[in-house]
Amino acid sequence: MSSVASLSVGLDYHESRVQVCVMDQQGRILINRDVANDWRAVRDAVPAGGRPVRAAVEACCGAASLADELAERAGWSVSLAHPGYVARMKQSPDKTDWGDARLLADLLRVGYLPRVWLAPQEVRELRRVVRFRQQLVSERRDAKLSIRALLRDCRLRSPEGINPWTRRWRAWLKSAELPAQARWVVERQLARLARLDEEVREAERHLEQLVAGDAVVRRLRSAPGVGLVTAATLRAEVGRFDRFGSGKQLARFCGVTPRNASSGQRQADAGLIKAGNPQLRATLIEVAQQLLWRDPRWMAFGARMKKRGKPHNVVVAAVANRWLRRAYHELQPERLAM
């Protein structure tokens, strides 16, 4: 191991500028100034003099790209910091770029930096496509809700026995008697829905091509109830399953474990933890719903829990938790290579 003392560098990231704080191992600030948002400018601002450089930047939009450039082109060791935990560690209510960069450098120097995983470029690219599809689906849902709200406002109800958004329901909607302006709005919302349906299908076709050779996605899709979108979402948001020490850690990251609410002699759970990506948690809940409907083993597990008096939402969360912890072991590199 090299005996040369390393430098700790805190980077407060902004769209056009980066505040750079350089600190030695004794905690002395060597430089704290802002430079252009370019990896060369950041590198040149640090008087390394042959010493190894460790840098930290809060995880935010664009920070991962800068971290990649500094690691690959400048040869630095770069860590992403969790913004929420860093904010809680501040000893002052004031916020300045100078102070934020200094705090990051100091936390890195003493080993207290709350790190988050720096996903590789290919995982970040997959995330962009997955989240774009999610945005399209959200827009489509909003358009449908707008149409249903307009029908309620016009006090117009569909005939009994026709489920919304089926072909029969859409045919009824086109022939329903609506005020002129309401009809104008409905027609444009229906045109918007048709466009969004095609864009969602196009995004899914692109996803299919993007994950065609991915071993993790292939193994996930072999499980009952897991399709392209579910597998791609898990791959994009989790990335590497082996970066977690256990299936329990992975389940907590995904937000499908109960929050501990114990105090004194009282031991209790208080619903699912709120940490994690909400879309990832929703995807796992959908998987659990499918398993309870289609897989005999999980159906039997759910029946046993319900017999003990557990409500349906607790059963679904328990299935999501256990399925994910089992998937953790199935998706380790040595198992994927088999």
State whether 200 and 257 are in the same domain. no
Does a structural domain hold residue 270?
Answer: yes
State whether 242 and 328 are in the same domain. yes
State whether 163 and 189 are in the same domain. yes
State whether 112 and 129 are in the same domain. no
| pLDDT tens by residue, the chain, 338 residues | 445 689 999 999 999 999 999 999 999 999 999 999 999 999 999 998 889 999 999 999 999 999 999 999 999 999 999 998 998 888 777 889 999 999 999 999 999 999 999 999 999 999 999 999 999 999 999 999 999 999 999 999 988 889 999 999 999 999 899 999 999 999 999 999 999 999 999 999 999 999 998 999 999 999 888 999 999 999 999 999 999 999 999 999 999 888 776 666 666 566 777 777 889 999 999 999 999 998 999 999 999 999 999 999 999 999 999 999 999 999 998 888 77
SS3 letters for 48-90? CCCCCEEEEEECCCCHHHHHHHHHHHCCCEEEEECHHHHHHCC
- Any long-range contacts for 45-49 (C-beta under 8 Å, 24+ apart)? 45/20, 46/7, 46/9, 46/20, 46/22, 47/22, 48/7
List of residues 6+ apart from 59 with CB closer than 8 A = 80, 81, 82, 83, 116
Tokens 């904010």 belong to 87
Does a structural domain hold residue 1?
Answer: no
State whether 223 and 331 are in the same domain. yes
State whether 130 and 144 are in the same domain. yes
Number of domains, the chain: 3
Q: With contact defined as beta carbons under 8 Å apart, do 169 and 186 qualify?
A: no
State whether 228 and 330 are in the same domain. yes
Structural domain ending residue among the three candidates 181, 210, 239: 210
Does a structural domain hold residue 163?
Answer: yes
Main-chain dihedrals φ then ψ at residue 58, nearest 5 degrees: -65, 140
Structural domain ending residue among the three candidates 77, 93, 116: 116
Provide the CATH number for the domain around residue 52.
3.30.420.40
Structural domain ending residue among the three candidates 175, 210, 245: 210
State whether 247 and 280 are in the same domain. yes
Give the domain range for residue 41.
7-116
Does a structural domain hold residue 2?
Answer: no
